[in-house]
Amino acid sequence: MKVKYLILSFILTIGAVCFAACSNVGFLFSCDIEDGTTVILPEYSFNVSAAYGGEECDVSVSLNGVLTAGGGSGKYTVQLERGENLIKITATRSKFSETRIYHVIYRADFEISTDIDEAAIINESISFTAGATFNDLPCALIAEIGGEELEGKEGVFTARLNEGENIISLIARYDDLTERIERRINLGKFSLNTDLSDGDRTEAEFSFRAAVAYDSEPLPIKVTLNGKEIQPDGNRFNLTLERGENKITIAAEKENIRKTYEYTVRFIDDPPTLETTLKDGKTYRGSKLGFDVTAKDGLGEKLPSGNISFSADWNESGDFAPLTSVKKVWDDSAFTSFEINFKGSEFFSYANSPFDFKVTACDGAGRETSAVYEMTYVPAENGEKTGEVVFALEGFSIGCGYFMKPCRLPVYEGVNFAATLTEIIEENGWTYSNTGTIEKGFYLSGITGLDLSGNRIPDELWELIPGRAYQSMPAPENGEKYELSEFCYAQGGGWMYSVNTVYKNYGFSNYYPQDGDVVRVQFTVALGSDLGGGGALGGSGNSSWLTDNPDYGEIMGLLADISKIIEENGGDKTVYNEVLDKITKWNISQKTMDEQISKLKSAYGI
């Protein structure tokens, strides 16, 4: 009995040792899944392998209870469901197995917020806010209507709606993930029935009727005049206009859909005003006459060129016939330039006889203002001298005085001033650069060889152009090879010209001089504002930095005549030179001009 017991004890001991050895072998897993991780893409890949007792064993993978096939080399790719996913990995070796469970959370939550459903639709336009988040973090969002992307700023979008159904799409994007929502907006049709219209009126009191419907449904309306509500009198509204511009609005509303109609009615109690550069009683030898017209309504607003008309009384009988051959050359915010070709159309038939030429300005209310000028055209042959102009080439704004002192130049039939100017430049030994041609579009870009001694923008002018000036004295003292051209001294530098005090808004090739014209060709550093002609080179209107901007015409004529007399007959130039020194300073006063004119007349007995 004792022997049997010992044998049995030995067998049990050996079995226990063997079982313990097997248990210590166990499974060794290799897996790159991080338990509890959160991912934002549904496609999820990972690697798995397992060994038992140092030898590779079989592995099975299931996602949420469904077995998944591997892609080879222990790589698996699964399609996660939103929320928590259970990935179960089981390793098997013979009759032994072991299972590991991993939790992977797939979260891809877009949230799109917008107030589009509450936004008002005003005049077929809707503005709304919209934004989006992805997993609680801000993400990109675009808005579209009819497939066209809307511009948005700081989450605010505006869309123009059409009558009928409009589909606005809001699309959130994060990497390659997108989510879209749509809003459908149905817009009906507003219709207005009124006898109100834009325009000018000569009476302050007036009334109009107005009614608005939405898809044929009559709507209550609100009418305001300059922001103040006007109560209806039946279906009419009685108004008292203020002088000048009046804003009248008619507003109607259907739930969150609003429509506003706006009208501008001006009350003008004065007739239009009219100014021209024509002279009454003048005889013209040159066949082309350029002139300017400044026409304004009773409120001082420039009238369109189409509101200016011309007529002629050929026999000075008071019977004016409309003219259609007067050509518009240029139109800007200050005045309109026209040209008469005396050799063309009806004018030539009345050559050598005086006639009356009428300029008429008509405002929007039908009121007219006219000016009549007696003129006579005496034909000249091509190239024949037709008179003289007073001319000067100036550099007052850069401290250079006259490059060419006032003189009288002959002018000829059919010769434009581009040809005259270039001839003068070459006769003085200078050279020039230009764009365009003598015949068309001539622009004087620069002149080389001028005496620029002492050149410098005056301090009081320099202070007016900070930020736009390059330097106040760029040219060498000896400027024979220096080109005085556009953009010299300042960004607004360049050449421009005036005729009889008016800075022309067209080029030299379009100007055909007439006897008695006063022509000033000047260098500007501020697009003409430093000369009293801002606007002719692209400025605004006729802006001027000059205090008085005196007319140089009379004194230029005196200087030209005195210079010629002294040159031909001899004489003292002391006073002449003193006057030149006074009037070539930038921004002289009218008082200084008057004093120098008197001084010249007194000294030379003119």
- The pLDDT tens digits of the residues spanning 176-234 come to 889 999 999 999 999 999 999 999 999 999 999 999 999 999 999 999 999 999 999 98
Please indicate, yes or no, if residue 22 is contained in any of the structural domains: no
Cα separation, 5 vs 8, in Å, equals 5
- What pLDDT was estimated at residue 99? 95
267, 299, 327 - which closes a domain: 267
- What pLDDT was estimated at residue 71? 78
290: containing domain: 273-377
- What pLDDT was estimated at residue 7? 33
3-state SS, residue 455: coil
319 and 345 part of one domain: yes
State pLDDT tens for residues 284-330.
Answer: 999 999 999 999 999 999 999 999 999 999 998 999 999 988 999 99
3-state SS, residue 585: coil
417 and 489 part of one domain: yes
420 and 524 part of one domain: yes
User: In the β-sheet with 177-187, what is the strand arrangement from edge to edge?
Assistant: 148-149, 140-145, 164-174, 177-187
Is the entire prediction scored with pTM above 0.75? no
207 and 302 part of one domain: no
- What pLDDT was estimated at residue 542? 53
> Concatenated DSSP letters for 346-382?
HHHTTTTS-EEEEEEEE-TTS-EEEEEEEEEE----T
3-state SS, residue 180: strand
Spell out the alpha helix ranges (H) of 323-362: 345-348
536 and 439 part of one domain: yes
424 and 521 part of one domain: yes
377, 406, 427 - which closes a domain: 377
- What pLDDT was estimated at residue 23? 41
- What pLDDT was estimated at residue 44? 94
State pLDDT tens for residues 530-559.
Answer: 999 886 554 444 578 999 999 999 999 999
Q: Which residue stretches of the chain have pLDDT < 50?
A: 1-24, 538-541
Q: How many domains does the chain have?
A: 6
117 and 93 part of one domain: no
302 and 203 part of one domain: no
> Concatenated DSSP letters for 169-211?
EEEEEETTEEEEEEEEEEE--EEEEE---SEEES-SEEEEEEE
Please indicate, yes or no, if residue 171 is contained in any of the structural domains: yes
291 and 202 part of one domain: no
